[in-house]
Structure 1
Amino acid sequence: MQKPIKKVVIAGGGTAGWMAATLLKKVLGEMIAVELVESEDIGIVGVGEATIPPIQIFNKFIGLDEKEFLRETNGTIKLAIQFENWRVKGESYLHTFGAPGTNMGFCNFQHYWLRAYREGMKTSLWDYDLNYLCCKEGKFNIINTQNPMYDMPYAYHFDSALYGKYLRKLSEAAGVVRTEGIIDKIKVDETTGYITELKLKSGKQIEGDLFIDCTGIRKLLIGQTLNVEYEDWSHWLAANSAIAVPTERHAQTAPYTRSIAHDIGWQWRIPLTHRNGNGIVYSTDYMSDDEALERLMGNLDTKPLADPRQIKFQTGRTTKQWHKNVIAVGLASGFLEPLESTSIHLIQSAVVRLLKIFPHEGITESAVNTFNAESKTEYETIRDFIILHYFVNERDDSQFWQDMRNLPIPQRLQDKIDVFRDVGGLFDEQHDIFRDASWLQVMLGQGIEPKDFHPAANVPSGDELRAMLNKVQIAKQQPLAKLMPHDEFLQRYTGV
């Protein structure tokens, strides 16, 4: 007989631990006790400063006031990621959170644009994207309208350490118990293989029914104790190191992240209200740590505020993110380089997935299997999206980029590239967090031009097609006059 879940113990704090604690307590209330164990002596990776739009759903559900949230975390607005030098050096494109154009009926907007482009119209696909237009003008405001033409999805840049502290304050107020201490021993039931107790160096013993492993890349519970294997993806994603350093903020705060490709990897620039986040992601198979540090420090555009910090990682995933009575969340569940700002979202989706099938009366095989299957698919779809950026490149300035171009990519990704290249087709998949508009922008941005477009795009006459597209373009530009510079918005909205 399975044991009812009355107490959840979260091992580790940081963004993962406190997001899990906050959501569990918000959804289940007094139904369960939640205790989080963390130590001030153990550092956190804490480079996840850029997010994607679903974090708005999380924040609203737990009751965060957006203005207070931005103030508490030194947050800014994120409309897109600008990819520089990824296809070839000197070229850039934006992957925005918006969708170019509008609903045109049976076939997607890009097919009409493709036909017009082939017939000599010079507008780019991004000219029909409100997020892109706002990025180029550095503007933003919250548009209160139900008209999908003016839909402008956004996320945030924020200090992840401050976000964790903010959530801790809310969690403790809601009844989550925080225990300070370093985990020394973990007790496992010899019959069931379940973890039953964490023993701290202080001697304190913490019992629980369900354990959430938020110990980061150490994987203290899921890996070191339960010996769940780790699936290595470094043959697809070669990067195994990062160096991060904060710098002074810019005079003007861009509403987008920058991802700048170098000859051996890429560099991020993330604008916050009090500083910029910077870092370089690279592979030691192609460049030494010292060379990477020199490359990073030589490409900063504002003054450093602290010493650089190095992070070592292995891209991949824990093969069973739920095993026995332990669920891995955050970096304990896997690591994907932060190219598309997915690390915080993976925390959110894991906790939401758990709560949808929460085993109140006892852990069942069906719940575990469902959780693991969905987690696997989600990780793999994000992995494939990241591989796409590397694989579809035309750079010839280094062995690194040539090797990336010759990767033996997953079949699913190859099929997706092929159908887009052949007929301009894109299809959403259930557990892929990136919708077809995201795949569209990256594929076009990386230089994949479809050979054909949908025949429905041939229905309007040439004049009718140009008039349709011109009408959409004018409509997309209409809100710009009423928007304000990003910094002005932040100041007015947050009062800081």
Structure 2
Amino acid sequence: MQNTLTSICILGGGTAGWMAATLLSSSLQGSGIKITLVESPDIATIGVGESTVPSMMEFLRVCQIDLKAFMQATAASFKLGIRFADWTTPGDAFFHPFGAVGQDLQGFDFYQAWLKTTADNSATRWLDHSPSAVMAEHNRFMLRSPQAQHWVLQNYSYALHLDAVLAARYLRDIAIARGVERIEATVDQVIVDERQFIQSLLLTNGHCVGSDFFIDCTGFQALLIKGALGIGYENWSHYLPCDRAVAVQSENTAAPVPYTLATARDAGWTWKIPLQHRTGNGYVFASRYCSDDQAVNTLLGAVQGQLLNEPRIIPFVTGRRQKIWHNNCLALGLASGFLEPLESTAIHLIYKTLIRFISDFPDRDFDVAAEASFNQKINSDYAEIRDFIILHYCTSGRSDTEFWRWCNTMPLPDSLRETLQRFHARGQINHTAEQFFSKDSWFSILEGMHQRPHKCHPLMHAFNTTQLSTSLRESAANIHATVMQMPLHADYLSKHCAATMQNHKLFEGQY
């Protein structure tokens, strides 16, 4: 008798549910495993709009989804990184780019070479060596050719700004076309056996859905992983005090730029996500320092363009589920945890969770070693992103409000404290292939926050500073010249992947 899984039930739709259905229907093709998704017509998705990271492009490739069609269906624009405004002082700004920054030098990080040149009065800026940052600065964009030989054209990366509601709808249609069964119903009862394995879902329409494995995509409610199996939550609010967000959509007042804008405010930060047909706006804030009314007023004061819906308050608790995979249940999306969207990692974590689950895919023996391996890896993913988000707060140096004064002395996880100590000693960051944020990402945030190490690597003194400076200036000029030959982002969207009027009407009708 075969011991392989024969069925998987996904509870909940939205971005997480339909990403799971689409990826699994692609990855498990030919396995004979039946995939069913149950979603309630009564539960609205959070769907405030999403800013993604480059793994979104990998998700589309793995799922064999045509990029042009997806962008047209979701009114998407391209994203080259995040612009951070006012995080150190009012009027100051920096950029966190995707892709590489500079070329490593004889085994040393490029950052070390650049650091050695900073005493030169004609030294280049750190971001002069990032193709993505230069493209964003000049609002340029084009898709990278897989055959590109030029270093600049090989080393920029990009993601998407997309409408989460339209994205879920598009993925739903693909998943159903690939054989996923969709049941529109609400769960009345979850049946759990004596081993604490989920057996079936009793629905309010009287039907019963049994399955070998269940994926919980029920959002903050976590109906299966928490409600039925009692798996607790590791609260990280002592590290990240923001616990609420207010979101609103507005009309575009200009062509969409190829980056997300994150602006520091008195009790948190606001986002601005430009899509083709509208702009997503929000304010992530700490309720102990700011009331809901104050947050709404702050956000509306920053919004440009006519509002398309009423501001919506979204409470949250930063942290993660104590076990994201337990027995025959996997938590996904908001059911598994929440990290504020400062670095746009929500969809990335959904994708990464699914990829890790497929890597440790169970059979009906449900080997505890596979479950433990998965949980260990995904816990590390969450901790890495947590530390990177904390980095933005603990290094800002702002002290003009009570919130920012708290950030100046905020508690740090040991892992982050050790990373900062190593960086400040001589500009080095420990990094493994499993980590999402590259060393260049760390260097970009730290440089943007005016954090410099006490010294560079001692062996850098063997390099001639004048020759290094000349080489870096030539490299920066080459990047700039290459970028300026690219089309404007808005022109590229209009020519290659403009959203259709049909989708524009869908967009207008969803709020």
What TM-score bracket applies, with the shorter chain setting the length? Answer: over 0.9
Q: 1:246 offset after TM fit, Å?
A: 0.3
Inter-partner Cα distance in structure 1 for 2:397 and 2:104: 32
Task: Write out the 4+ residue segments of structure 1 that deviate beyond 2 Å after TM superposition.
Answer: 1-4, 119-123, 146-150, 429-432, 455-463
Aligned to 2:436: 433
Matched, 1:157 2:161: yes
1:300 corresponding residue in structure 2? 303
* More displaced 10-residue stretch of structure 1: 247-256 or 7-16: 247-256
2:110 counterpart residue number: 109
Equivalent position SS for 2:484: helix
Q: Which amino acid aligns with 1:57?
A: E
Contact 1:116 1:466 in 2 (8 A): yes
Identify the residue that residue 97 of structure 2 maps to in structure 1.
Answer: 96
In terms of mean alpha carbon deviation, does 388-397 or 476-485 score higher?
476-485
Instruction: Decide whether the 8 Å contact of 2:272 with 2:282 is kept in 1.
Output: yes
* C-alpha contact 1:89 1:395 (8 A) present in aligned 2: no
Does the CA-based 8 Å contact 1:240-1:315 persist in structure 2? yes
Matched, 1:453 2:456: yes
- 2:487 — aligned with what? 484
CA distance in 2: counterparts of 1:188 and 1:110, whole angstroms: 54
Q: Give the CA deviation at 1:3.
A: 6.0
One-letter identity of the residue aligned with 2:288? D
Cα distance 1:478–1:362, how it changes in 2: closer, same or farther (>3 A)? farther
Partner residue in 1 for 2:253:
250
- How many angstroms does 1:86 deviate by? 1.1
Instruction: Report deviation, 1:457.
Output: 2.8
C-alpha offsets along residues 179-226 of structure 1, whole Å, 9 cap, x if unaligned?
001111000112x11000001111111000100000010000000110
Counterpart in the other structure of 1:181: 185
1:130-187: CA deviation from partner (whole Å, max 9, x where unpaired)? 1111111111112321333332100000001111111111100000000001111000
Taking the aligned partners of 2:433 and 2:131, their CA distance within structure 1 comes to: 26
168, 172, 189: which one aligns with 2:172? 168
Pick from 336, 351, 363: which aligns with 2:339? 336
Give the equivalent residue in structure 2 for 1:85: 86
Could you give the per-residue CA deviations for residues 266-291 of structure 1, whole angstroms, max 9, x where no partner exists? 00000000100000001111111111
Conserved 8 A contact 1:248-1:276: yes
Instruction: Give the superposition deviation at 1:417.
Output: 0.8
| 1-structure distance, mates of 2:296, 2:470 | 52
Counterpart among 457, 472, 476 of residue 473 in structure 1: 476
- 3-state SS of 2:302 partner: coil
User: What SS does the corresponding residue of 2:42 show, helix, strand or coil?
Assistant: coil
| Matching residue's letter, 2:129 | Y
Specify the SS of the correspondent of 1:140.
coil
1:25 Cα shift?
A: 1.1
Secondary structure at 1:302 match in 2: coil
Unaligned runs of 5+ in 2: 500-511
Query: 1:244–1:309: 8 Å Cα contact kept in structure 2?
Result: yes
**Are the aligned partners of 1:48 and 1:338 in contact in 2 as well (CA < 8 Å)?**
no
Contact 1:102 1:472 (C-alpha < 8 Å) held by counterparts:
no
Amino acid at match of 2:47: G
What's the offset of the Cα at 1:495?
A: 5.1
For 1:127 and 1:316, how far apart are their aligned partners in 2?
A: 36
Amino acid at match of 2:70: F
Identify the residue that residue 133 of structure 2 maps to in structure 1: 132
Task: Identify the range of structure 1 (100-109 vs 206-215) with the bigger mean alpha-carbon deviation.
Answer: 100-109
Report the equivalent of 2:411: 408
1:272 to 271, 275, 280: 275
- From 189, 202, 207, the counterpart of 2:205: 202
Letter in 1 for 2:442: W
Among candidates 312, 315, 323, match of residue 312 of structure 1 = 315
Instruction: Work out which of the residue numbers 268, 287, 291 in structure 1 matches 2:290.
Output: 287
Give the secondary-structure state (helix, strand or coil) at the position aligned to 1:360: coil
The answer to whether the 8 A contact 1:2-1:362 is kept is: no
TM normalised by structure 2 equals 0.94
Counterpart AA for 2:118: Y
Quick check: 2:75–2:498 contact (8 Å CA) kept in 1?
no
Query: What is the CA deviation profile of residues 54-113 of structure 1, one whole-angstrom value per residue up to 9, with x for unaligned ones?
Result: 111110111111111110110000001001111222211000002221122221111121
2:10 is equivalent to residue 28 of structure 1: no
Quick one: percent identity of the two aligned structures?
Answer: 38
Between 100-109 and 70-79, the greater mean CA deviation after superposition = 100-109
1:396 to 386, 394, 399: 399
Evaluate the alpha carbon distance shift between residue 101 and residue 209 of structure 1 in structure 2; reply closer, same or farther with a 3 A threshold.
same
Question: Deviation digits for residues 5-38 of structure 1, max 9, x if unmatched?
Answer: 1100000000100111111111112420000000
Find the aligned partners of 1:81 and 1:251 in 2 and give their Cα distance: 18
Per-residue CA shift, 1:296-327, capped at 9, x if unaligned?
11111221111111111100000000111100
